[in-house]
Amino acid sequence: MLTPIAYGLAVVLNLFVLFIGARFLLSPRPAAAGYGVPAKENGDAAYLTVKGLRDLTYGILGLALLIFAGARAEAWFMLVVALLPLGDTLIVLRHGGTKAVAFGIHFATAVVVLLSAALLFAV
C-alpha cells in the first residue's frame, strides 16, 4: 500500500515542477507573480527564463531517476531538492512577498517534498 502512494506522490511532485518550469518559460510574468515576487516590467527576463529552465530540468531529472534508478535514488533527490522551496521561502520573505505565500506555498512545498523523500526511503 505504501509503494503506490510513495511513487504517486513523487510523480505528482515532479510533474508539478515540470508545469512550473513550463509556465516560467511560456508566461514568465504571471508565473513570477504566482511565485510571490512579481517581476518588474522593465526587468531582465533572462532571470525568469533561468527559473523556468531550472524547474523544467529538475522535473525531468526527478522522473528519470524514478523510472531508471528507483525509489532510493529518487528519495535522495527529493531530500536534496527540498532545499529549493526552503530557499524560495527566504527569497519571497526577503523581497517583499507575503508570509502567506512564503509559508503557505514554498515552505509547505518543502514539507511535502520531505514527506515524499521519507515515503520513498520507506519502500
Q: What is the domain extent for residue 75?
A: 2-122
**How many domains are contained in the chain?**
1
pLDDT in tens, 65-79: 999 999 999 999 999
pLDDT at 42: 85
> Which residue is associated with the grid cell 526552503?
86
Interhelix angle 108-122/83-94, nearest 10 degrees: 170
Question: Is the pLDDT assigned to residue 14 strictly greater than 90?
Answer: yes
Query: Which residue spans within the chain are E strands per DSSP?
Result: none
pLDDT at 44: 79
* Helix or strand run (H / E) with residue 123: none
Question: Is the pLDDT assigned to residue 35 strictly greater than 90?
Answer: yes
Q: What is the mean pLDDT of residues 14-40?
A: 95
Q: What is the mean pLDDT of residues 74-89?
A: 98
pLDDT in tens, 55-66: 999 999 999 999
